[in-house]
Copies of this chain bind each other. A is one copy, B any other.
Amino acid sequence: MADNKKMVEAITSRDEDFAKWYTDIVKKAELVDYSSVKGCMVFRPYGYAIWENIQADMDRRFKETGVENVYMPMFIPESLLQKEKDHVEGFAPECAWVTIGGQEKLNERLCVRPTSETLFCEHYKKVIETYRDLPKLYNQWCSVVRWEKTTRPFLRNSEFLWQEGHTMHETAEEAQEETLRMLKVYEDFYRDTLAIPAVVGKKTEKEKFAGAEATYTIEPMMHNGVALQGGTSHYFGDGFAKNFDIKFQGRDNKLHYPHQTSWGASTRMIGAIIMVHGDDDGLILPPKVSPVQVAIIPIAMHKKGVLEKAGELKERLQKQFRVKLDDSDHAPGWKFSEYEMKGVPVRVEIGPKDIENGQCVIVRRDTREKIFTPLENLEETVKKTLEEIHNDMYDRALKNMQEKTHVATTYEQFVELGKEQGGFIKAMWCGDSECEEKLKEVTGGVKSRCIPFEEEHLADTCVCCQKKAKHMVYWGKQY
């Protein structure tokens, strides 16, 4: 117990200092390490294993919709990046530039990709000739670089891992459908795999992606009420196609520009997992992406038969689950807090008395509930428990989001909520980006999150300027 207490005390309390609590977890759960390049992280085995599970799940969902994986070069020549005006304006300030290669100064400097629209367009120009070549549904898993001034593990890094899908379609309608289809894939993934609820909708003009006609977003709320842009899906129309001169022969035998989308989600999702689910004892991982789903801790390990029985349970359970049997020298109390810190959903304790009684103890990470379980039904109980943990994690996160979502119908209400309460604010908006700027300024950072697909009518006028309202918008501060 001394051990146990010691580890728990080593973390800052979530309600005391959310930012410090977050970095404590990142470090103590051994997710990442810092490197000597500012803002570039080392993904340690436990952190990377979470990402591998995220990748496998998302990749399957993408491929089920017909998406194929490719890999584009990591370098973009400056002239290529400049082909789309809004795009280059959006990204140039954050670019890292290669100017020397093989000891010689390059004739044209190369940007380390911050995103790959331009590279995909260059390739699409070569492989799209007729409508028979459409749609093209490509995705890549890679790292991208955006030179950030202030960085924070998973949330804002100079280099981060992500997936970026880039698709080309015969018609605007098909491209728009694809944009929303992939937003839905993100929404399903967050709910069914990460146990994270979110608000989804369309970004305002001000907040949309550089070069896009429309940007859609999924915005989960962290435990402290701050939003995280969790994934975006963009509809480009034929703007890039025109700039890159991509044309296809249509069914009418005439030349047309294809319509384009892109969509991306990154290792920020691990940040979301930490901040939505974690507590004062560390991570609480959604069972579906947890590198270890069941940690088996033998009690009184030296006693005859305990290790053998623990080994038996491992053999049985690992047929269905990701299992770790910890037979190290550490005391059980140390192990308890270790796997709590690492957010392992289910702990199985087995000691001499349990063996005598033909049972073991299952302990849920999220609720600490102890379940005495007959050994013969163990697989079933673990399966059921993991499902319950997932559902309860989702419900708790949803409750938090609902409790921290407020309605503002007046300017004063909005400012007070924005300054004092945090969380999401639902409020009417005239459609003018000047109002967005003003609200951001007076609240110290509250921005429009999105216009949801189903808007409520909260009032007739804009919460800021009192002109006629066009949309109901979710607002909030963000990471």
Contacts and interface: CB of A to CB of B under 8 A. Distances in A.
Contacts of A419: none
Interface in A53-77: 68-77
Contacts of A297: none
A102 B158 CA distance: 10
B138 A37 contact: no
Contacts of A103: 92-93, 95
Contacts of A80: 36
A457 to B, nearest CB: 44
A42 B73 contact: yes
A191 to B, nearest CB: 27
A375 interface: no
A121 B96 CA distance: 25
A307 interface: no
A127 interface: yes
Is the contact region of chain A dominated by helix, strand, or loop, or is it mixed? mixed
Contacts of A101: 95-97, 147, 158
Contact of A145 (B74, B77, B94): B74
Contact of A97 (B68, B70, B100, B149): B100
A80 B103 CA distance: 18
Nearest to A46: B68
Nearest to A126: B33
A99 B147 CA distance: 12
Interface in A155-187: 158-159, 161
Given A119-B35, A123-B33, A41 B102 contact: no
A212 interface: no
Could you say how many copies of this chain the assembly holds? 2
A148 B103 CA distance: 11
A245 to B, nearest CB: 14
Nearest to A329: B132
* Residues of A in contact with B, size category: 35 or more
B99 A99 contact: yes
A72 B95 CA distance: 20
| Best-buried of A36, A40, A49 by chain B (most CB within 10 Å) | A36
A411 interface: no
A69 B291 CA distance: 12
A308 interface: no
A109 B103 CA distance: 13
Interface string A91-121: 0111111111111000001101000000100
B43 A70 contact: yes
A44 interface: yes
Contact of A69 (B49, B92, B123, B149): B49
A93 B159 CA distance: 24
B98 A102 contact: no
Interface string A119-154: 100110011000000000010001101011100000
A127 to B, nearest CB: 7
A42 B69 contact: no
A142 B143 CA distance: 9
Contacts of A69: 45, 48-49, 52
A74 B73 CA distance: 14
A369 to B, nearest CB: 31
Contacts of A161: 71
A145 to B, nearest CB: 7
A130 B80 CA distance: 51
Interface in A310-360: none
Interface of A: 33, 35-37, 40-45, 48-49, 51-52, 68-77, 80, 92-103, 109-110, 112, 119, 122-123, 126-127, 138, 142-143, 145, 147-149, 158-159, 161
Identify the 4 closest CB pairs spanning chains A and B, nearest first.
A102-B147, A40-B73, A45-B68, A43-B71
